Structure 1
Amino acid sequence: MQHLDVQVVEQGLAWLNAGETIWLCTVLSTFGSSPRKPGSIMVARGDGRHVGSLSGGCVEEDFLERVQRGEFNQRVCVERYGDPRDEASSERPRVQLPCGGILEVLVERLSPEDDNRQHMAELLGVLRGQQQKLRTVSLSDGHCTLRPVVEAGGETVAVTAGCVSLRVGPASRLIIAGLSSVARPCAEFAVALGYEVIVCEPREEEYRDFNLAGVRLEKIFPSVFIAGPGNCHQQTAVVAMTHDPRIDDLAMMEAVRTDAFYIGVMGSRRTSDKRATRLLSSGGLSAAEVERIHMPIGLALGSKTPAEIALAVMADILRVQRGIRRDAL
């Protein structure tokens, strides 16, 4: 899940609590090129206000116009956008995606009732929590449930006879251990990619003028924050790029004890070899724990500038998160 999804559910719950009816939309499947992947969500209310997105804008525009005209009064339905075969039917949305793709969207109409408020509150708790859950929606009556996931891996969306299953879980998080010239563009890239970004920096001279939109600053040692309960979950990446062993090494020592899917530290091959030796000896890490650390960090793109290095770092994080081997690039 993206951090934007947290904002979508937060706003949806706030509108329900204020007595508003909401429409929760989820991308079920895509065919051909499409701007958003399955599982992407948007919430809207009857006056057209919305948070989140389903496409590059064309689908949202059509959907919001139809909501304001009084359409989508049923509890649940599936809409198909971008299919030229639907042009002949006046009951289908006549929207062609600029990229030529096709989207199937689950639309749920949620009135401000206790059951719906409770479900959205539970969904928000999952996105802010540590474990994945399976959200099931009946296509006959819209009944929703959240239950534990049996297997860690699997498709984000599954549609069976009369039911949609949506795998939901913690929003992707990036913890940046310490500020540096590379950390800043890395944080900006991560925000744009939909990560929840947390920078841990105990040095006042470094964080004094730090102010990046969408980035949370924790004025403590990264190792302390990383070790805190619930701060590193299965959708967390931890990176250190300060060249200060007091920050970088300690952050790595704590990160390998968590469920973080990506752990990396910046440095040349020679610096990385020396760090590995330190972590094995004085750091007390096992060979398997050291092996979890990506060092040198990032893809080998020939990066030189801070922004180029940050790009290589985020590209490698995305590669690992998508389960793509380096030799498959």
Structure 2
Amino acid sequence: MKMLDLQVLETALQWLQQDRPIWLATVLHTYGSAPRSPGALFVADANGQYYGSLSGGCIEEDFLEKIQTGFFTEKSEEVVYGEQSEQFKPTTTLPCGGTIDLLVEYITPSDERIVYLKTMISALKGHDILQKTVILGEYPTLETVVEADNLPFIQHHGTHMELTIRSYTTLFIAGISAVGLYCMEFADQLGFAVIVADDRAEEIRQLKNLPIYERITFLETFPAQYIENNSISAQTAIISLTHDPRIDDLTMLAALETPAFYIGAMGSKRNSANRMERLKSCSDFTDQELSRIHAPIGLPIGSKTPAEIALAIMADIVKAKNGK
């Protein structure tokens, strides 16, 4: 989950700024039924404090014990855990005999490494796409990438590798609604950063202090205005679920000006067709540009209830995110 990864890097930065050496681990490959996907991050310090997850509990305790006994002293090294590993076998067997390949960085406090972490944090927030070049035994270096659409997460070349670091996937929801509440919860569990914008102060106030929504960002603002005034990355999905043309139409027009990978609005086929005619009449967008809008939104699974509709919407967004 990229939001968790961002929190890992922010924790790593905080510890490094406190003059605490850290061990930063990145999942490179998984084989079998490993719980975490490539790119997942984990940080630990010499006192056994840690943040993040490598395996859902199978590896973490063993990893921390090895730090205490003098392992992982290289600036960067590759470590393999699991049944097929000749290096380390975790005290708890990975599910289904899985194997996890890690990059472990031992980072000591310095201005250079603080800038290094800040640069990766900025990339996860959507400012740049980075290529992280690793020559094992040395500190990794970072370089901004301009054309990164087809870059895989990892390119492995024996004793060196390149990793691609890019922003986490964000779901922007225009307006609070029953369907939107379920979309918020599903998206959060799927690892999306979630932003909800609504200009109704009371609606925002009622939700933003609820513990179940502690990871959701609520903004008291008109949704289209937020989109127009902020940098929206290609890792963002924008949806409007209000049935209010004042919100839905303006949100769609603002969204079409962005590189968002998914744009959608709720409504029946008839209402969606009427909306499309309104957008054509009040903008200069071509039919091809307007076709970016998913409307009616969601996969056609016969959904009826708000939860089912939200499930169909999130399934469609995940499908688009994964290039299917």
Scaled to the shorter chain, the TM-score interval is over 0.9
Q: Which amino acid aligns with 2:144?
A: R
Give the one of 109, 114, 117 matched to 2:111: 114
CA distance in structure 2 between the aligned counterparts of 1:140 and 1:152, rounded to whole angstroms: 29
Q: CA deviation at 1:273?
A: 1.2
Matched, 1:178 2:188: no
Q: Which residue of 2 aligns with 1:206?
A: 203
Q: Which amino acid aligns with 2:151?
A: G
Asked if the contact 2:299/2:312 (under 8 Å) is kept, the reply is yes
Asked if the contact 2:241/2:248 (under 8 Å) is kept, the reply is yes
Q: For residues 85 and 60 of structure 1, do their structure 2 counterparts lie closer, same or farther at Cα, with a shift above 3 Å needed?
A: closer
Give the one of 119, 124, 132 matched to 1:127: 124
Asked if the contact 1:130/1:234 (under 8 Å) is kept, the reply is no
Q: Which amino acid aligns with 1:73?
A: T
CA distance in structure 2 between the aligned counterparts of 1:130 and 1:292, rounded to whole angstroms: 23
Q: Which residue of 2 aligns with 1:220?
A: 221
| 1:150-165 correspondence runs (5 A) | 150-165=147-162
Q: Which residue of 1 aligns with 2:275?
A: 275
SS of alignment partner, residue 178 of structure 2? coil
Asked if the contact 1:178/1:242 (under 8 Å) is kept, the reply is yes
| 1:227-306 correspondence runs (5 A) | 227-230=228-231, 232-306=232-306
SS of alignment partner, residue 207 of structure 2? coil
- Give the 4+ runs in structure 1 shifted more than 3 A: none
Q: For residues 63 and 249 of structure 1, do their structure 2 counterparts lie closer, same or farther at Cα, with a shift above 3 Å needed?
A: same
Q: CA deviation at 1:229?
A: 3.3
Asked if the contact 1:183/1:310 (under 8 Å) is kept, the reply is yes
SS of alignment partner, residue 300 of structure 1? coil
SS of alignment partner, residue 136 of structure 1? strand
Asked if the contact 1:137/1:145 (under 8 Å) is kept, the reply is no
- For residues 198-241 of structure 1, give each alpha carbon's deviation from its aligned partner in whole angstroms, at most 9, with x where no partner exists: 101002343231122111111111000011131x1110110110
SS of alignment partner, residue 312 of structure 2? helix
Q: CA deviation at 1:284?
A: 4.0
Q: CA deviation at 1:311?
A: 1.5
Question: What stretches of structure 2 of length at least 5 have no aligned partner?
Answer: none
Q: CA deviation at 1:149?
A: 4.4
In the superposition, the TM-score normalised over structure 1's length comes to: 0.92
Asked if the contact 1:134/1:149 (under 8 Å) is kept, the reply is no
CA distance in structure 1 between the aligned counterparts of 2:18 and 2:188, rounded to whole angstroms: 29
Asked if the contact 2:123/2:129 (under 8 Å) is kept, the reply is yes
SS of alignment partner, residue 218 of structure 1? strand
SS of alignment partner, residue 194 of structure 2? strand
In the superposition, the TM-score normalised over structure 2's length comes to: 0.93
Asked if the contact 2:174/2:241 (under 8 Å) is kept, the reply is yes
Percentage of identical aligned residues: 42
Q: Which residue of 1 aligns with 2:312?
A: 312
Asked if the contact 2:76/2:140 (under 8 Å) is kept, the reply is no
Q: CA deviation at 1:100?
A: 2.7
Question: What stretches of structure 1 of length at least 5 have no aligned partner?
Answer: 325-329
SS of alignment partner, residue 302 of structure 1? coil
Q: Which amino acid aligns with 1:179?
A: I
How many residue pairs align between the two structures? Answer: 319
Q: Which amino acid aligns with 2:223?
A: P
Q: CA deviation at 1:309?
A: 1.3
Q: Which residue of 2 aligns with 1:327?
A: none
CA distance in structure 2 between the aligned counterparts of 1:216 and 1:94, rounded to whole angstroms: 37
Q: Which residue of 2 aligns with 1:26?
A: 26
Q: Which amino acid aligns with 1:275?
A: R
SS of alignment partner, residue 58 of structure 1? coil
Q: Which residue of 1 aligns with 2:78?
A: 78
